[in-house]
Amino acid sequence: MDQPDGKYSIVVEHLVKKFGSFTAVNDVSFKVKEGEIFGLLGPNGAGKTTTISILSTIVNLTSGKASIYGRDVVHEKDAVRNLIGIVFQDPSLDDELTGRENLDIHARLYGVKGKAKLEAIDRVLKLVELDDKANIQVRAYSGGMKRRLEIARGFIHDPKVLFLDEPTIGLDPQTRRKIWDYILHLNEREKVTIILTTHYMEEADELCDRIAIIDHGKIIKVDTSEKLKDSLGGDVIKIGTNKPKELVALVKKKKIAVSAMEHDGTVEITAKDGSKALPRIIEFAKGAKIDIEYSTLKRPTLEDVFISLTGKEIRDEQASGADQMKQKWRARGR
Amino acid sequence: MATTIDTIYTIWLREIKRFLKSKSRILGTGGQPLIWLAIVGVGFGSAIGVLAGGVSYITFMAPGIIGMTILFSSIFAGINVIYDKQFGFMKEILVAPVSRVGIVLGKIAGSATVSLISAITVLVIVILVGIIPVSSLTVAGLIEAVVFMVLTAAIFVSVGLVIATSINNMEGFQVIINFFILPLFFLSGALFPLTDAPLWMKAVSAVDPLRYGVDGMRGALIGTAAASYPLALDFVIILGVAVVLIAVADFAFRRMQAK
Ligand SMILES: Nc1ncnc2c1ncn2[C@@H]1O[C@H](COP(=O)(O)OP(=O)(O)OP(=O)(O)O)[C@@H](O)[C@H]1O
Ligand SMILES: [Mg+2]
């Protein structure tokens, strides 16, 4: 009964969640492999937290099916709860208590007792480097320390699956990098399957084995970061020249690129292997007496992928406004 | 997995730790009743004098003030639930693989313990300064009084929890509680005997659970002459109400979706 679905630790099929008439999660299906770091990447309001909340038994689904290691999130709530750890998007610590007391309560709730409990607490405190701050009230922690404590708490009971809902939102770059290190460590050393949500491209890129791009409650595409980027056809080369039309014609004639076009006086070329294509283009241009003023080569980012799939940037005006609001709320709560 | 007893103990432990860390709560719950005794007890006492049965007013009122201590501190235990919802800790509890009834019973046990600590503090002070004469105390009476305190606390903690599960902000909770708390208090017979009260008031006070809690404590601490009902009747009623309200709190808690 441990692994009825072979190598999958999470299986989600046609998941729907409605709040009244509003559909927050709209027919979402995906499978997460055992030991994988799986990312849900999408803008504010995409339905990431709602999906995580359903998988972690906190919110009831409207229709569809979801299971963790074969245990149904609706009908086998306790079994699922026993298998998972979660770091919520919003703060969830008792800040009147100390860091150690927060971990102690958590361990007790998960049936970790006695010596095993004390060892587990020391182990996680050390990993997130809070051992020297363990006995002060959480109220006096910085935002980053609180987040680290929450991550420590999330895996104190050795969960098989760890949910991280925007683990680094509102944190400075150094703290963010540190948290990424803990996440990678947990995944490699403790073999925890991790499902994380984010709307930071770098975070998805850095951490996730596979990324699901989600928008308006729908999963648009699931793949590795590399393959998602490759799906755009290749690298983007921009060339400034005195004869853009001639250059476009030349590139097309020589079949160096997937596509080439003129855009505001510069030539934009998409090529499979940009770093090899660029010198060849420059050489051909020389031979054809076309002057090249400058050139840039860019590997497409997840942002480019997102734009091509949804027709908008992940962080539009509205979203970053909401993000700021959320950070303010966070600062207040923390 | 944690057993239900583990869960109750864990939730209880957290409430106690939080209480011990909050000095204002400790001072507030103990201080307010003493101010009531000093001002209302002495003030009315000098105007009213000795009541039927030869009991002085301030002595009559002392169990009422203990009842008040329990009422106020218990019902505001609901604030903790709202706090937990607002500050996210509720999710941490709800996502744990523990029985829901364990969570509710732990909350009730924790908050009731805190109320009980305040109530016993007031009782000790009242005995020490001689408001309740040592001559009227018996060991059995003290034990009975504590039983009434525990059940009364369980009742009003449950009421606080039920209200808190359906309300998401402190202000809303305060408004509702303030609306109920004074009638509950004044109609309980804590401050004045209801023997000569008009019929409507007697009728309303008959459905006030605090009435039986205070009456039981009065009978146990001062003597049955000062009480309106037999101790056994007070006990059966208060126990029944406590059981029903704990069940209601359990139901309300299950229905609540974590915010
Ligand atoms: N309890 C609720 N009642 C009504 N609508 C809700 C509720 N929870 C979420 N929603 C709505 O569902 C949609 C998805 O919300 P969700 O929190 O899952 O988004 P998200 O992808 O996590 O966004 P963010 O990046 O802002 O955290 C939003 O439009 C939100 O307003
Ligand atoms: Mg979210």
CATH number, domain with residue A267: 3.30.70.980
Indicate whether A332 belongs to any domain: no
B160 touches B174 (CB < 8 A) = no
Cβ of residue A44 lying under 6 Å from some atom of ligand 1: yes
Q: How far is CA A253 from each of CA A248, A257, A288, rounded to the nearest angstrom?
A: 9, 10, 12
Same domain, A215 and A259: no
**Residue owning the nearest CA to atom 12 of ligand 1:** A24
Measured in Å, residue B80 CA sits from the centre of ligand 1 at 26
The yes-or-no verdict on residue A108 having pLDDT over 60 is: yes
**Predicted pLDDT of residue B194:** 87
Q: Are A205 and A247 members of one domain?
A: no
Residue A182 and residue A282 in one domain: no
Residue A310's pLDDT band, with cuts at 50, 70 and 90, is confident
Domain count, chain A: 2
- Report d(CA A287, CA A269) in Å as an integer: 19
Residue A320 has pLDDT above 60, yes or no: no
Ligand 2 centroid to Cα of residue A178, in Å, is 21
In this prediction, residue A261 carries a pLDDT of: 84
Query: Is the domain of A141 the same as that of A159?
Result: yes
In a domain, A329, yes or no: no
Ligand 1 pocket test: which of A28, A40, A48, A201 has the largest number of ligand atoms within 8 Å of its C-beta?
Answer: A48
Q: Which two tokens stand for residue A223?
A: 């793949």
Nearest to B157 by CA among B229, B79, B83, B216: B79
Summarize the confidence of residues A123-134 as an average pLDDT. Answer: 92
In this structure, of A243-252, B18-27, B136-145, B189-198, the range with the lowest mean pLDDT score is B18-27
Domain C-terminal end among A170, A200, A228: A228
Name the residue range of residue B212's domain.
4-258
- Whether residue B19 is predicted with pLDDT greater than 70 in this model: the reply is yes
pLDDT tens per residue across span A231-286: 888 888 889 999 999 999 998 888 888 888 888 788 888 888 888 889 999 999 99
A89 C-alpha to center of ligand 2: Å? Answer: 6
Average pLDDT over residues A212-230: 93
**Predicted pLDDT of residue B41:** 86
What pLDDT does A315 receive? Answer: 62
Q: Assess if residue A1 is contained within a domain.
A: no
Q: Looking at the structure, tell me whether residues A203 and A253 fall in a common domain.
A: no
Shared domain for A175 and A252, answered yes or no, is no
Residue A332 reports pLDDT greater than 60: no
Q: Which domain holds residue A242?
A: 233-299
pLDDT above 90: percentage of residues in chain A: 62
My answer on whether A205 and A239 are in the same domain is no
Whether the predicted pLDDT of A329 surpasses 60: no
> How much is the pLDDT for A319?
43
Q: What is the pTM of this model?
A: 0.86
Are A108 and A180 part of one and the same domain? Answer: yes
Residues A214 and A134 in one domain: yes
Distance of CA B244 to the CA centre of its chain: 16
Residues A213 and A246 in one domain: no
pLDDT band of residue A3 (cuts 50, 70, 90) is: very low
Of A61-65, A203-207, B60-64, B221-225, the poorest mean pLDDT is in B221-225
Establish whether residue A199 lines the binding site of ligand 1, counting it when its CB lies within 6 angstroms of any ligand atom. yes
Return the pLDDT at B110: 96
The answer for residues whose C-beta is within 8 angstroms of residue A178's C-beta and 6 or more apart is A129, A144, A148
CATH of the domain at A47: 3.40.50.300
Please measure the distance between the N-terminal and C-terminal CA atoms of chain A and give it in whole angstroms: 41
pLDDT higher than threshold 80 for residue A157: yes
Q: Is the pLDDT at B24 greater than 80, yes or no?
A: no
Q: Is A3 among the domain residues? A: no
A314 belongs to a structural domain: no
Question: Does residue A174 belong to any structural domain of this protein?
Answer: yes
Q: How many domains does chain B have?
A: 1
From the CB of A70, is ligand 1 less than 6 Å away?
A: no
Q: Tally the C-alpha atoms within 13 A of residue A210's C-alpha that lie toward its C-beta.
A: 14
A204 and A181 in a single domain? The answer is yes
B5, A108 Cβ separation under 8 angstroms: no
Instruction: Tell me which residues of chain B have a C-beta less than 8 Å from any C-beta of chain A.
Output: 1-3, 6-7, 9-10, 13-14, 17-18, 21-22, 87-89, 91-98, 257-258
Mean pLDDT value across residues B133-150: 94
Per-residue pLDDT averaged across B48-71, rounded? Answer: 88
Q: Are A144 and A279 contained in the same domain?
A: no
* Any atom of ligand 1 within 6 Å of the Cβ of A300: no
A333 touches chain B (CB under 8 A): yes
- Is residue A331 included in any domain, yes or no? no
What is the average pLDDT score of chain A?
Answer: 88
Residue A321 in domain: no
What average pLDDT score do residues B160-180 get? 91
pLDDT beyond 50 at A304: yes
